[in-house]
Structure 1
């Protein structure tokens, strides 16, 4: 696998888009919100793409699958923090709707990517 391979994956690009959108939202919060929930949500969202990238670089299908499962866990953690942020009046309904659309596109892509890992070698 080439070093740029992960950057070409649609699932990785969606993860980047979600993380960047969350970053822009959190950047507007007050210092207390940024230092508490903001830090957590940004780290969780950034971890989705980071785990996809790390899995690709590990060199084995088993490791790649393990890291994609961690990416799914990070997506769930991101959703948790988004729920907390909304409950604490840090997100507008428009922001929630935008993020929900992104998550609803990313989640099935992660599952499809996980299912696809190793299938080419298993079929040959």
Structure 2
């Protein structure tokens, strides 16, 4: 009996779900900003955070494993930019509340780990279980 892998819809992927939660928080923050804050900080923060999920989606839809991995790398870089730079800066400047900050942090680390695991597993699946980067 062959072991067929079941297709998992994008919306059911945990990394995609976590990225959407992060996007929802980013949108809440962005929505209350004034024009100057949106223009100087908010637009870039929102684009980088929304790019996390967008790149997961694009990578997931690609056929070749190297293309998949490339988009997962883009997603990981966008996560670093969005959280480690823009949201950290927003928290320092008082644009992100403590409650939002704690929720962001509770999503960021698990998403980062799961994204790294997804990259590794994508390589392993193609390489017959050997993780050759």
Taking structure 2 as the reference length, the TM-score comes to 0.84
Question: Which residue number corresponds to residue 45 of structure 2?
Answer: 41
Give the unaligned 5+ runs of structure 2.
Answer: 1-6
Question: Which residue number corresponds to residue 64 of structure 2?
Answer: 60
Question: Which residue number corresponds to residue 103 of structure 1?
Answer: 108
- Partners of 2:81 and 2:126 lie apart in 1 by 32
Matches within 5 A, 1:1-124: 5-79=9-83, 80-123=85-128
Which protein has the larger Cα radius of gyration, Structure 1 or Structure 2? 2
RMSD of Structure 2 on Structure 1 (CA): 1.9
Moved over 4 A (4+): none
What is the aligned residue count? 123
Q: 112-121 or 77-86, which moves further after superposition?
A: 112-121
- Partners of 1:94 and 1:17 lie apart in 2 by 14
SS at match of 1:123: coil
Question: Which residue number corresponds to residue 3 of structure 2?
Answer: none
| Structure in which a larger fraction of residues adopt helix | 1
- Partners of 1:103 and 1:6 lie apart in 2 by 19
Taking structure 1 as the reference length, the TM-score comes to 0.90
